[in-house]
């Protein structure tokens, strides 16, 4: 698989399940809205990680299993994004601070090597 969006091409049966999976990967609007999972997954030259900084709260809850921790992440990433956008802190410094706070294995249900804690000027998705 060369690109993350190739996931949408996996043959899944029955067709109804494939359609739902496709919408999850690519995103879809309608009666049931699915944000594209590709927005949160980094898949570059062997690098496969999920962006904690951009992930929506339900995805964070799946990773951290604690609503209080998810609330802290949302608050911290909003604070750091604004600081980086206003250039009051360097993105690298913000990333280090964010990673030190939320990459602790005791908080996670997955290995932190599969997570990306990079902080950017992109506004995180805090709505469910």
Same structural domain for residues 59 and 121? Answer: yes
pTM of the model: 0.67
pLDDT in tens, 56-102: 898 899 899 999 999 999 999 999 999 999 999 999 999 999 999 99
Same structural domain for residues 13 and 63? Answer: no
Q: Is residue 55 part of a domain?
A: yes
Q: Is residue 26 part of a domain?
A: yes
Same structural domain for residues 26 and 3? Answer: yes
Same structural domain for residues 19 and 56? Answer: no
* Rounded distance between C-alpha atoms, residue 123 and residue 98, angstroms: 15
pLDDT in tens, 25-58: 777 776 666 667 666 665 555 666 788 998 889 8
Q: How many CB atoms lie within 10 A of CB 24?
A: 16
More confident residue, 1 or 26: 26
Q: Is residue 44 part of a domain?
A: no
Same structural domain for residues 57 and 94? Answer: yes
27: containing domain? 1-39
Q: Is residue 35 part of a domain?
A: yes
Closest C-alpha among 45, 52, 65 to residue 99: 52
* Backbone φ/ψ region at 101: left (φ over 0), alpha (ψ -120 to 50), beta: alpha
The count of structural domains within the chain is 2
What's the pLDDT at 78? 93
């Amino acid at each position: 698989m060369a690109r993350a969006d190739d996931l949408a091409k996996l043959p899944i049966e029955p067709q109804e399940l494939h359609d739902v999976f496709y919408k999850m990967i690519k995103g879809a609007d309608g009666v049931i809205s699915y944000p594209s999972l590709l927005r949160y997954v980094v898949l570059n030259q062997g690098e496969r990680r999920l962006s904690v900084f951009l992930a929506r709260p339900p995805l964070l809850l799946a990773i951290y299993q604690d609503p209080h921790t998810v609330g802290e992440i949302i608050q911290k990433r909003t604070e750091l994004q604004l600081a980086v956008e206003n250039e009051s802190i360097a993105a690298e410094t913000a990333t280090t601070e964010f990673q030190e706070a939320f990459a602790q294995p005791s908080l996670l249900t997955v290995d932190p090597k599969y997570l990306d804690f990079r902080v950017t000027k992109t506004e995180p998705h805090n709505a469910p």
